[in-house]
Amino acid sequence: MLRLKDKKSDLNFKGFHLLLIVSNFKDYQLAHFINIVAGLNFKKYDDFLFATNPENPRYYSWFHYNDEKYNVKYYLLENISNHTYLFSNLKKIDFLLFVKGSVPGSLISGLEQKLRGVRGITAVLRHEVSVLKDVQVFLDEMELHELEYVTKPMKKQVK
């Protein structure tokens, strides 16, 4: 029974990949260098609110890029805000890079290698999304954030 539950939870995260980044860059600097070395086009949006404690909400820097050609979405987030970690079990990690879409492992490996070649990035580690604490709540909140700040404004522009 537990085995079925584990398989089901893995399905919830299918198509998500996560790279953990240790860097001395500020958020906008890291996004800039990722754009250059990986050929992405990260754009800064309103900070991401992830309120596990409603009395003390925390906002984390949030960048997004939608590669429409390959149907892949990229999310770059800070892991620390005002001395509070987005994921407290990743205290040595500065940034999280989520990749969402049906992408081959070679794309993730290539991205990983390109990032490792950037001065100012100390480490890049591949990590399982499913082991993050409160990850389903986090991904749901991130999807709502994307709808509010990326998808809806784009639909207004099209009208």
Q: What is the pLDDT of residues 48-105, one digit of tens each?
A: 998 766 777 889 999 999 999 889 999 999 999 888 899 989 999 999 999 999 988 8
**Pairwise CA distance, residues 3 & 66, whole Å:** 34
Q: Which of 16, 48, 49 is nearest to 136 (CA)?
A: 16
> Average pLDDT over the chain, rounded to whole?
87
Output the six-digit token pair for 117.
């070649």
* pLDDT above 90: percentage of residues in the chain: 66
Question: What's the number of CA atoms in the CB half-sphere (13 Å) around residue 101?
Answer: 16
| Helix, strand counts (H, E) of the chain | 5, 8
Domain definitions of the chain by residue range? 12-158
Q: How many CA atoms lie within 13 A of 33 on its CB side?
A: 16
pTM of the model: 0.87
